[in-house]
Amino acid sequence: MTVDAQSFKQAMRHCAGAVALVTVGSEPGRRTGLTVTSACSLSDHPPSVLVCVNRNASAHTRIREERHFVINFLNEEHALLALTFSGQKGVNGDDRFAFGRWTVGATGAPVLEDAVAAFDCVLTQELETKTHSVFIGEVQHVRAATTVDPLVYLRSGFHSVRDIRDPVTLGDLDARRVSWNEFS
């Protein structure tokens, strides 16, 4: 049994994802990037992350050529920046870096200064699928902000985590009762 693409996309819209910009390019004029919700940690030994990139994206070829990239997780104030890097604002390639505050990372790739977290990586492995590549990067440098909230994508829109109800703390006995009662 196969699932049609539309049903798959509709179901995935209900799965919240952290919004990130994947950036690449050490030379002004040759930088590019894209918006993703397909980036996550892989391992802490060595510290590694992975990101899925469509082979049609301009950043795909550049990541292969440069052998490095940065995953910049966005804060709740970055919704327009996410749209810009997604191509929905008609801005392409290096012109996307006119928006936001950028610095150069350890690998030479662009790092968003006020990202929730930025993982500067050297490409160590690539796995190909029909339409995407899974890029695995070993983290060379990390930056994290403690005073900003992350941007999430859910049900075809951007949201602040403050829109989500208070978290349940597993160490709290009452929270465990609430947690189990909700599932019983």
Instruction: List the chain pLDDT tens, one digit each, 184 residues.
Output: 789 999 999 999 989 999 999 999 988 899 999 999 999 999 999 999 999 999 999 999 999 999 999 999 999 999 999 999 998 888 999 999 999 999 999 999 999 999 999 999 999 999 999 999 999 999 999 999 988 899 999 988 998 887 766 555 555 555 555 554 555 4
Q: So what's the pLDDT on residue 168? A: 54
The C-alpha atoms of residue 131 and residue 129 are separated, in whole angstroms, by 6
Sequence-separated (6 or more) residues with CB below 8 Å from residue 113 = 100, 101, 102, 103
Q: So what's the pLDDT on residue 7? A: 94
Q: Return the ∠ at Cα 46 (arms to 45 and 51), rounded to 5°.
A: 110
DSSP 146: S
Domain boundaries, the chain: 17-160
Q: Give the phi and the psi of residue 171 in degrees, each rounded to 5.
A: -75, -10
- Amino acid symbol at 179: S
Sequence-separated (6 or more) residues with CB below 8 Å from residue 126 = 64, 133, 134, 135, 136
Q: Give the phi and the psi of residue 31 in degrees, each rounded to 5.
A: -85, 155
The C-alpha atoms of residue 126 and residue 32 are separated, in whole angstroms, by 19
Per the DSSP assignment, residues forming a β-bridge with 52 are 134
Q: So what's the pLDDT on residue 103? A: 96
Helix (H, G, I), strand (E, B) or coil at 50: strand
Q: So what's the pLDDT on residue 171? A: 59
Report pTM.
0.87
Helix (H, G, I), strand (E, B) or coil at 15: coil
Q: Which CATH number fits domain 17-160: 2.30.110.10, 3.30.2130.30, 3.40.640.10, 3.40.50.11810?
A: 2.30.110.10
